[in-house]
Structure 1
Amino acid sequence: MDSASFFIYCTVATFTPGPTNIVLLSTVHHRGARAAMRYAYGATAGFGVLLGLSALVNTILAAVIPAILMGMRLIGSGYMLYLAYRLYTMNVAVQADAPRNATFGSGFLMQFLNPKVVLFALTVIPTFLAPNDAATPAVAAGVLMITGIGFAAFVAWVLFGAIFRSLLQQHTKRVNILLAGALAYAAMMIWT
């Protein structure tokens, strides 16, 4: 496994703006860090469960149909290139209303309704973990590592909410180009 590509993909996918991060940013800005952290704990738990389910499904599929891994790698790298394109062309302007129900439960459920997280969970395991070591302990360690990266992203959005919002709005295009380039690099490195 190319560890650099794995880390870049996980970091960019979890730290870039998405529904969960936008809700966290809005919550910390309007209701404070404590309310946002309740939501972040729930989002982390949901993220971990979703990754675990993805690992289980992908491991079963790989055992039954080994050729599926190549297809999933193709889908994973294609999705990464799509995210890179979306980052390059998007205008990051946070305009979400402050959620009134930023609870553990709503953070948990958001992960199963968030297309960015679902697609990430379905592609990261077969793209980076399963092709290299399908052993259960190795995949479980990878799921825990990815969940930790996700939690770090959520905490970063909470801690730097107001500052990060301001920074993104001031340097939107530069940040997007940098993140898009990193994602495109990670997608290409899957095949080397």
Structure 2
Amino acid sequence: MNYSSFFIYCVIVAFSPGPSNIVILASVQQSGIKRTLRYIAGASIAFFLLIALSVVLGETLSSRLPFILPVLRIAGCLFMLYLAYQVYHMDVSNASTNRTASFASGFLMQFLNPKVVMFTLTVIPSYVMPYYTEGQVISAFVVAVSLIGLAAYMTWAVCGNLFQGVLQKYRRTTNTVLALFLLYSAIVVSDLPNLLKG
């Protein structure tokens, strides 16, 4: 097993900008890091469950993903468009209206994001299971990947907290940029660019 390739892949996927990370940044801007922890908890638990599911179902699930992916693309696209709308209209003066940072939103986002689903459901079967069969070793890898995901979410939250003053000073611009990133993510998830080419 190529450990360096495995961990580099996990870190790049977890830390690179994506819908969950963007929502975390926007939520910290509006509600602060403490309330954003609910979203992070939901996202982290779903991330762990998806990775554990990949171990339980193994190759059977991987072979059926092509049939599930179109449904995930549509549902994920619609959910991200909803989140983009919510982020764009966030008002830092009214933190109680923040629905994007709920536990349920973080949990649901993981199951509706094809990038996360494809990564979590294939990383252990592709990288680890061909080389290890012991339950304890595979469980250790599941925990390691889950912790990388949690570390990424916490990093985005801490960075959002550190730059909260700047983000709030330019709230309208920040919300617009974050909403545009989510809009871009929705377009990519929908696979619309490839459909238009073909």
Q: TM-score, normalised by structure 1?
A: 0.64
**Can you give the 5+ residue segments of structure 2 that lack an aligned partner in the other structure?**
67-83, 91-96, 167-173, 175-198
Deviation at 1:135, TM superposition (A): 2.1
Does the 8 A contact of 2:50 with 2:120 survive in 1?
yes
Residue 109 of structure 1 aligns to a residue in which SS? helix
- Residue identity in the other structure for 1:103: S
Partner of 1:160: 159
Identity, in percent, stands at 40
- Residue identity in the other structure for 1:21: N
**CA RMSD between the two structures:** 3.0
- Residue identity in the other structure for 1:145: A
Deviation at 1:2, TM superposition (A): 1.0
Higher radius of gyration, 1 or 2: 2
**Can you give the 5+ residue segments of structure 1 that lack an aligned partner in the other structure?**
63-67, 76-93, 170-192
Does the 8 A contact of 1:10 with 1:146 survive in 2?
yes
Q: How does 1:78-97 map to 2 (within 5 A)?
A: 96-97=87-88
The answer as to 2:2 corresponding to 1:24 is: no
The answer as to 2:117 corresponding to 1:141 is: no
Does the 8 A contact of 2:53 with 2:121 survive in 1?
no
Residue 160 of structure 1 aligns to a residue in which SS? helix
State the Cα deviation string for residues 36-88 of structure 1 (Å, max 9, x = none): 111101110110011101111116x49xxxxx89xx9xx9xxxxxxxxxxxxx
- Residue identity in the other structure for 2:35: A
- C-alpha distance in structure 2 between counterparts of 1:138 and 1:36, whole Å: 32
Does the 8 A contact of 1:157 with 1:164 survive in 2?
no
Residue 17 of structure 2 aligns to a residue in which SS? coil
Say which structure is richer in helix. Answer: 2
Q: 1:100 aligns with which of 86, 98, 101?
A: 98
